[in-house]
Amino acid sequence: MSMKTKRWLGIVAVAVLLASGAGCGANGNDGDNGHAEQTSVPLSTVKVESGTLVPTISSDAVVSSHALFAVTAPVQGVFQSTVNVGDTIQSQQVLGSVADTQILAPAEGTVASIASSGTQVPLNYPLITVNYNGFAMELDASRLLRMTQSTDSIHGKFQITDGQSPSDCAAVLPVQAVSGTSQQSNGTQENSGDNSSSTRMTCLVPKDDNVREGESGILVISGTAVSSSLLLPVSAVAGRSGKGTVTRISHNKQEQVEVTLGASDGARIVIVDGLAEGDEVLDTAPNLATKRIQ
């Protein structure tokens, strides 16, 4: 056999081997593709954990020089006042009593109006409106107030945009003129006919803080910590006010479960009822979750 013939046969053999290998590769890829189509998307889940949570809300706010705050009833009972409209009061001064419990001024200011002495009042009822002679920032605190028993436990911080580092509020108090029949600054009595509590809270800015009226910033207020609570990320729960829904994973099956909700800090939320510690749920709320192959 000539050298030229041998060379030609070698080229043919290599070509055959390459073609055979390509065919095997194609078949292998087809098999992989078929396998991929049968693979379900992995579920992303979180577990219910026990822990401590501080109820917290935040909002944009503007510095104002007009700040009226309410001193509220620490307990239910009959209210008796020991101050008059127009009086200048100091922080921690005794302003009166409800039943046998003294009412202390949470901050300094000037008394603007007072509920009538001898009135039977419930817990948290606004009794005395005080004009704070300083700056303040307000926000709607209705969501936080649903999480806490008393406004006495609420505290806060504020951060002025492009300003100083975060500062503590001198006090965080309800924004509320006295409801019902009250003594006004002109000495008359007025019946507002509205006994509802305010859902707005005011952060009193300490008088040694350098702020100006109209400046904007962020206001964050918090209540008393809730310990030994069952917690989930808010992203896993559909609903925020009292009732909600989660998708529980059990034995590789998905089940939507109704839960009773408690306090939240914006990142996590308390599960009051409906789940147990260690339960596994989808990390996305049921109304947002993408349908997956079970």
Spatial distance between the Cα atoms of 253 and 60, rounded to a whole number of angstroms:
42
Strands (E), 82-175: 88-89, 94-98, 101-104, 109-115, 120-121, 126-132, 136-140, 155-160, 167-168, 171-174
The list of the chain residues with pLDDT below 70 reads 1-42, 149-150, 152, 176-198, 288-294
SS3 27: helix
In sequence order, the 6+-apart residues with CB closer than 8 A to the CB of 219 are: 58, 59, 60, 61, 137, 138, 139, 156, 157, 158, 203
Q: What is the pLDDT of residue 289?
A: 56
- Is the CATH number 2.40.420.20 carried by domain 225-282? yes
Query: Is the CB of residue 125 less than 8 Å from the CB of residue 177?
Result: no
pLDDT of residue 27: 47
| Inter-residue contact 46 to 120 (CB < 8 Å) | no
Instruction: Please give the pLDDT value at position 38.
Output: 47
- Domain residue spans of the chain: 56-222, 225-282
Chosen CATH of 56-222 out of 3.40.50.2000, 2.130.10.10, 3.40.50.1980, 2.40.50.100:
2.40.50.100
How far apart, in Å, are the Cα atoms of 124 and each of 12, 35, 184, 292?
Answer: 96, 65, 20, 49
Q: 56-222 with 225-282: one CATH topology?
A: no
Structure tokens that stand for 262 in this block: 């408690």
Q: Three-class SS of residue 71?
A: strand
Instruction: Give the pLDDT of residue 150.
Output: 66
For CA atoms 75, 76, 82, 85, give the dihedral sign: positive
What is the per-residue burial (b if ≥16 Cβ within 10 Å, else e) of 216-245?
ebbbbbbbbebeebbbbebebbbbeeeebe
Beta carbons of 198 and 174 less than 8 angstroms apart: yes
The pLDDT value recorded for residue 124 is 86
